[in-house]
Amino acid sequence: MPSSLMPSRTSADRALGGPGLPVPDSEQWISTTGSRIAPDPYTWMQAVHWAHDLGTRIPVRSHGPRFGTTTVLLAQQLAQLTPCRPGIDFLARILKVSARTVKYHMAILREAGLLAYRVKGTRVRQGRPLASEFARTIPSSFDQALGLRTVPSDTFIRAVVGVSEYGRAQLARLGKKAARTVRRKARSTKKPSFSASSDCTPMEGGSCTVSPAALTSSPSEDEPRSGKSSSSPTRRGRTRKALNAVGRRYQLGLELVRQVPWLAGTPVARVAWAARHLADAGWTAHEVIAVLALRAPSDRIHRPSGFLTARLIGVEKLFDTPAKRANLVAWWRHSPQASRERHVEWSSSWSAPRSNAVRRLVGEAFTASKPKPHLAELPAEPTDAEQAEIRTLAWRQYLAGQPELVISAITLAGRDSAEQIYGTDLVQRVVRLASTSSHLTTGAPR
């Protein structure tokens, strides 16, 4: 950040060590930083708590979070790392915050002079990303605010050689904070309770609205040995929230889907939209079913939600009072036709499916279910006259262009059995004819 854009220093900032904050990007490296390296994590946490105590007096960016409890929690995790090479995802998982929040507070620590880059991380395509390595540093404003005297050092850039009396007291105070672990405050959801003792007046002459003995009960006289009490503590159940208009619509839609057979499988949202006017008017599922029972359903319903919408048009105006709806439900329950419809499942005449693929599968299923034709059972040893008659019939059909008898024998019994029945010559002719072009025919010329 250019020096012309740095915030102006105030007298309060000079007293607390505010000058020099935030640290520009060019001075957030170990080679260019004006801070000194912290000799140990304990000393570094003292500087972190000092920066946290400054609060809003630390100049920060115009957007994003400020130096707060989350920053201190992040610093506690960084103080435990050796070397200080944190992973953003790891810190976000430990602190239970987002990765963007971790990046914001890492930037806050760098701008406060508490962290300096040793090596900046890289993101190489098709390579392993490297995390940034930091050095825990203490800003010079901390030394000035606490009156610490420092000299040049090869190891820590600057080393502390003396401290003022004011600085000793402040270091002791910051040391207590650095020694304990900071934890995020849990949100309290406990409601204030009022005890009975607040209504009691001490000493004589007082009265108590609630007696401690009121919480106990005498044993039952019927069972003196067991000592069981007739009154058992009631278990506090959950109080269900009242449904709003949308909840009542979905509740009515779900009941209709479960109770009306031809609505089975229909999305509840569509049924809730179709019956929204009735749900808003306070109708129940039985009242809607009674209205639907006034007219018998169609033989075939293509779209149940649309059919329901057409049936419910204007019924909330026709049955506009609870008394009318009660009479309708009473008729529905005692009507023989309605009773028959309640006990008989909704059915319709079957029609072929529209999809060609489904039709083909249905046809194959029907074909497989039909009994296969089989050859007439012949005697175990047919006579020569019967054998000659069978072969003569097969030859006549073959010459007439109808070799189905031999083909069925080959398909069902096999070629060897067909040759035994009709002869080898006829079977060979039929097989040769079946393997040639379909334009070839047998029998008399056309």
Q: What is the pLDDT of residue 16?
A: 41
Q: What is the pLDDT of residue 154?
A: 87
Q: pLDDT per residue over 57-106, tens digit each?
A: 565 566 778 888 899 999 999 999 888 888 888 899 989 999 999 999 99
What does the alpha-carbon distance between residue 191 and residue 118 come to, in Å, rounded to a whole number?
50
Q: What is the pLDDT of residue 3?
A: 38
Report whether pLDDT(10) > 50.
no
Residue 197's pLDDT band, with cuts at 50, 70 and 90, is very low
What does the alpha-carbon distance between residue 253 and residue 275 come to, in Å, rounded to a whole number?
7
120 versus 375: the higher-pLDDT residue is 120
Q: What is the pLDDT of residue 258?
A: 87
What does the alpha-carbon distance between residue 414 and residue 426 come to, in Å, rounded to a whole number?
14
DSSP β-bridge partners for residue 29: 117
Report whether pLDDT(36) > 90.
yes
Residue range 348-360: average pLDDT?
A: 65
Residue range 116-142: average pLDDT?
A: 83
Residue range 8-24: average pLDDT?
A: 50
CA-to-CA dists, residue 439 to 136, 425, 434, 442, angstroms: 96, 22, 11, 10
Spell out the residues 6+ positions from residue 107 whose beta carbon is closer than 8 angstroms to its own: 64
Q: What is the pLDDT of residue 21?
A: 66
What is the DSSP secondary-structure string of 366-429? HHHHSPPP-PPPPPSS--HHHHHHHHHHHHHHHHTT-THHHHHHHHHH-HHHHHHHH-HHHHHH
Question: pTM for the whole thing?
Answer: 0.41
Report whether pLDDT(412) > 60.
yes
Residue range 145-174: average pLDDT?
A: 91
Q: What is the pLDDT of residue 124?
A: 62
Q: What is the pLDDT of residue 291?
A: 87
DSSP 8-class letter at 29: B
Q: What is the pLDDT of residue 346?
A: 47
Report whether pLDDT(148) > 90.
yes
CA-to-CA dists, residue 275 to 3, 260, 337, angstroms: 69, 13, 24
Residue range 278-282: average pLDDT?
A: 91
What does the alpha-carbon distance between residue 218 and residue 228 come to, in Å, rounded to a whole number?
9
Closest to 75 in 3D by CA, of 114, 18, 38, 111 = 114
Report whether pLDDT(347) > 70.
no
Spell out the residues 6+ positions from residue 281 whose beta carbon is closer than 8 angstroms to its own: 316, 320
DSSP 8-class letter at 197: G
306 versus 228: the higher-pLDDT residue is 306
What does the alpha-carbon distance between residue 288 and residue 274 come to, in Å, rounded to a whole number?
11
Query: Taking a C-beta distance cutoff of 8 angstroms, is the pair 116, 35 a contact?
Result: yes
Q: What is the pLDDT of residue 127?
A: 64
Q: What is the pLDDT of residue 350?
A: 56
For the ranges 141-155, 178-192, 235-249, 407-421, the lowest mean pLDDT is seen at 178-192
Query: Taking a C-beta distance cutoff of 8 angstroms, is the pair 158, 151 a contact?
Result: yes
